[in-house]
Amino acid sequence: MDYLIPSHEEWKKLYGAAALFRNLRPWEWMEDRHLFGVQNPVTGEISYCCVLGAAGEVFALAVYIGSEGLNGYMKITTGKVKEGPEMLETQNCLMASFEDRAALDTPDLKVMKELGKKFRGSHAWPQFRSYRPGYYPWILDKDEAAFLTLALEQAIDVVVRFRDDQTFLRPRGDALLVRVHKKEGSTLVWKNEWQTPEPPAPRSILIEPLDTERVEAVARKNLPRLGTWEIDYRYEQKPVRDKDGGRPYLPVMLLAVHRESRFIIQAHLGRKNLNDLRDKVIQGMEQSGTIPEAIAVVKDELAAVLEPLAQQLGIALITNERFKAVPQIRRYMSQFFGRRR
C-alpha cells in the first residue's frame, strides 16, 4: 500500500485540534487509567484514548487502535510488558504528544514551517507519531492524521465533561464510555454510548511446512546430541529500512545458545519471520555439527514453529523453564558493542 501524505489542510486541522487540547491541560485532572473510546467513521472500529501527563513526564493523548491496541495498553499498564524492546512489539496506537522544540525531528519542523505554526514554552510543541507492533515510531499517513484529528476533537469534549463531573468516565461493569457517530446529511453527529470492548482476535501463526528432506539429511548424519539449546528472539531498538523505502522496521535478533557451555550456536539479525528463524536453527545444527537433546523457549509462537522440527529429530521441547544462558550472552553482546561505539 502506498504511503499517502496528509495534505496542507489536513495538517492544519490536526495542529489546530492539538493546540486546543494542549491548552486545556487535561493531565491536571486526568490520569492514564481514565479510558474512553472513539469510533472511527471510516472503519467503524473503536479505539481507546487516555490522557498522559499526570506524572509530569510525557504529556499526550494516546489513541490505542481497536481491541489489539487496548490489549497492548493493558499489558503495559499492568506491568506484563515493560519498557524496552518488548514494548515495541506490543504498542498499536497513535500519539499526539507535546514536546520541547529540541525533541522535534526535521519532518515535524518542516510541516510547522509550511503551516506557519510556532509554539512557545516547554511541552508546547505538538508531535504526532504512529506506533505499530514491530515498526519504528513513524510520521502519520493521511488516514492516521484524519482519525487522530477526530480523536483529539472528541477528547476535548470528553475531558471537559470529566473536569466538571469526576464520575463521567466511571466504567459500568466492563463497559466504557464510547463516542459514536451517525451521519445526518454530510454531518457527523456524535453521542455517548457504553460499550464492552471486544476481545482481541487470536493471533494466528502461519507455520510453513517443514523442509523434511533437509531435516532428514541432518538426522542421517548421526550428529552428537549435546545438552540444551536456549532459543529466543527480541526486537532491537535500532531501526532498519529496506532499499525500496517504506516505513522503518525493527529487526529481531535470534539467539540459539548452548546452555551448558554458553556457546553461541546461532545469532541472526533480520526482519521477524518465524519460519525463517526456524531455518536458522536448522542451519545452526548443520554448521555446529551437533543436535541438542532439548530446546528451551519462552515464547509460545517459537514453540509452535519449532515443534515439528523437534518432533522429527526427537528433541525435547521445553516451554516452562527460565533462561540461564541467553540473558548472559545478551549482556556480553551489549557490553561488547557498547565499547565498539
3-state secondary structure at position 168: coil
- Cα 285 from Cα 314, distance rounded (Å): 14
- Cα 52 from Cα 61, distance rounded (Å): 6
Whether residue 25 has pLDDT greater than 80 = yes
For all residues of the chain together, what is the average pLDDT?
A: 92
- Cα 52 from Cα 40, distance rounded (Å): 21
- Cα 103 from Cα 113, distance rounded (Å): 16
Give the CA distances from residue 74 to residues 32, 62, 97, 233, 282, in Å, rounded to whole numbers and listed in that order: 11, 13, 20, 23, 36
pLDDT tens column, 174-198: 999 999 998 888 888 999 999 999 9
- Work out the pLDDT band at 43, boundaries 50, 70, 90: very high
pLDDT tens column, 222-258: 999 999 999 999 888 888 888 777 788 889 999 999 9
pLDDT of residue 263: 95
Q: Percent of the chain beyond pLDDT 70?
A: 97
- Work out the pLDDT band at 1, boundaries 50, 70, 90: very low
Verify that 61 and 189 share a domain, yes or no. Answer: yes
Residue 204 lies in a domain: no
User: Which residues span the domain enclosing 261?
Assistant: 212-340
- Work out the pLDDT band at 207, boundaries 50, 70, 90: confident
CATH code (residue 262): 3.30.420.10
Measured on CA atoms in the order 318, 319, 320, 322, is the torsion positive or negative? positive
Contact 295, 315 (CB under 8 A): yes
- Cα 209 from Cα 256, distance rounded (Å): 21
Verify that 80 and 17 share a domain, yes or no. Answer: yes
pTM of the model: 0.86
Total domain count for the chain? Answer: 2
pLDDT tens column, 99-111: 999 999 999 999 9
pLDDT tens column, 284-329: 999 999 999 999 999 999 999 999 999 999 999 999 888 999 999 9
- Work out the pLDDT band at 85, boundaries 50, 70, 90: low
| Residue where one domain finishes, among candidates 195, 223, 256 | 195
Per-residue pLDDT, averaged over 268-297, amounts to: 95
Strand partners, 72: none
Verify that 244 and 319 share a domain, yes or no. Answer: yes
Residue 128 lies in a domain: yes
pLDDT tens column, 48-66: 999 999 999 999 999 999 9
Give the CA distances from residue 200 to residues 65, 67, 76, 161, 330, in Å, rounded to whole numbers and listed in that order: 11, 5, 15, 29, 32
Contact 47, 69 (CB under 8 A): yes
